[in-house]
Amino acid sequence: MLVSTARLHSVLKTAVDGIIVIDDSGTVLVFNDACVHLFGYERDEVIGKNVSILMSEDDAKSHDAHIKRYLDTGEKRIIGQGREVSGCHKDGSPIPIELSVGEADTSEGHQFIGIIRDLRARKAFEQRVRDLQSNLVVMTRVNALDEMGAAIAHEINQPLTAVMLYLQTAARRMKTLEEQDPQLLSIMTRAVDEADRASKIIQRMRSFVEKQEPQKVGVNLASLIDECVELVMLGHKNDNINVISNFSDHDYNLTVDAIQVQQILVNLIRNACEAIKDCKKQEVYVDVDIAATDVFIKVTDTGPGLCEEVREQLFKAFTGTKRRGLGVGLAISRSIAQNHGGDLFVEPYVKGKGATFVLRLPLGLDGADGQSNLASASMI
């Protein structure tokens, strides 16, 4: 008898899986070392207690009734079969487990033996495989987009060039007429400029996809922001949206690829305008903070803000929440910022405050006069 008891204690102590023995009232009689590690309870905290303390709330409520029904009817539902269920750690967190239940008639009455296998490592591995598969799908789409880049640039540049030529010809023809329309002439001139800008954006995007260095020059930051605001507002003339730039230092220059930075800011401001379309207060603010080594351009809206779950997905390609589009805008914008040595991020959620996106750009040499932007910043 002593040998059998010693053997049982050895098995309970060395078993990798959890072993629990309960009586027909659900009281725990045996709780081995693996269970201590799995559930976080010490043995004396569990033995003598109802086994329901190791279960989820829903399972705990019905467990005693299941035992009683089996004892009354003999109908087996889990006994002799493995089943995946959820256990409950001492700290309240759920634990995925595989439970196998056996039974035995002993001199001390009817008892049930549960063999418990921890599934957390398996679940983590399965989730990792799903994540890798998802990433593979995304990379496949990104590679396809990369391969289409050169063809798209070529195909779109041709009609853009034709549009520019037609507009320039029409503008020259209009100048020869006796009755001229200055407003229409101005619109046509601006249309030529926008077509030219679109062509440059395509070329910059192609360079970006091909991982070429940005074409950095000194640009006036206030003017660049004003142009971005003006471009976005062209699509919101009939709305009540108001975009306000609070940076008006037109003597401050920043060394960046103007086209690429303009892409980022237009994307951020457009997104902000979309976020406030149904809000009572429809305003977007563009602010600039200049630090010792970086410039921070902030775009803030008066919308509902972004919860943590949404914020975590914002900069992942093809995970956008809009019904239209590929969901790559913010992902590409962040990549452009990082290609400049900067970054793009969103500030933490604050209840009652809209979302604030921050474009960080490093200070470089001033393209206009060759002086450091740090020196300019110290004068502001």
pLDDT digits (tens, 9 = 90+) for 192-207: 888 887 777 777 666 5
Are residues 197 and 218 part of one domain?
no
Model confidence at 89, pLDDT cuts 50, 70, 90, reads very high
Query: Is it the case that residue 327 has pLDDT exceeding 70?
Result: no
Nearest Cα neighbor of 54 from 16, 24, 85, 8 is: 85
pLDDT for 208-230, tens place per residue?
A: 555 556 677 888 999 999 988 88
Q: What is the mean predicted confidence (pLDDT) over 13-26?
A: 89
**Nearest-angstrom CA–CA distance, 94 and 99:** 14
Residue ending a domain, among 91, 118, 145, is: 118
Q: Which domain holds residue 96?
A: 2-118
pLDDT, residue 158, reads: 77
β-pairing, 217-220 vs 253-256, is: antiparallel
- Compare 249 and 3 and report the one with higher pLDDT: 249
Are residues 8 and 105 part of one domain?
yes
Residue ending a domain, among 118, 134, 168, is: 118
Q: What is the mean predicted confidence (pLDDT) over 271-289?
A: 90
β-pairing, 18-23 vs 28-31, is: antiparallel
Are residues 244 and 170 part of one domain?
no
3 state DSSP class of 158: helix
Are residues 288 and 269 part of one domain?
yes
Are residues 334 and 308 part of one domain?
yes
Tell me the CATH number at 369: 3.30.565.10
pLDDT, residue 206, reads: 62
Are residues 125 and 113 part of one domain?
no
Q: What is the mean predicted confidence (pLDDT) over 352-356?
A: 87
Are residues 333 and 222 part of one domain?
yes
Tell me the CATH number at 59: 3.30.450.20
Tell me the CATH number at 201: 1.10.287.130
pLDDT for 34-82, tens place per residue?
A: 999 999 999 999 999 999 999 988 888 888 888 888 887 877 777 777 7
- Compare 224 and 161 and report the one with higher pLDDT: 224
* Alpha-carbon distances, residue 187 vs 10, 194, 237 (angstroms): 89, 10, 15
Are residues 206 and 131 part of one domain?
yes
Model confidence at 97, pLDDT cuts 50, 70, 90, reads very high
pLDDT for 304-317, tens place per residue?
A: 888 777 777 777 75
Q: How many CB atoms lie within 10 A of CB 53?
A: 14
Domain count, the chain: 3
Are residues 75 and 132 part of one domain?
no
Are residues 265 and 147 part of one domain?
no
Are residues 236 and 208 part of one domain?
no
pLDDT for 109-143, tens place per residue?
A: 889 999 999 999 999 988 888 877 776 666 566 55
**Nearest-angstrom CA–CA distance, 172 and 285:** 39
Share of residues in the chain with pLDDT > 90 (%): 28
> What is the value of pTM for the model shown?
0.47
Are residues 15 and 72 part of one domain?
yes
Query: Is it the case that residue 146 has pLDDT exceeding 80?
Result: no
Residue ending a domain, among 167, 183, 212, is: 212
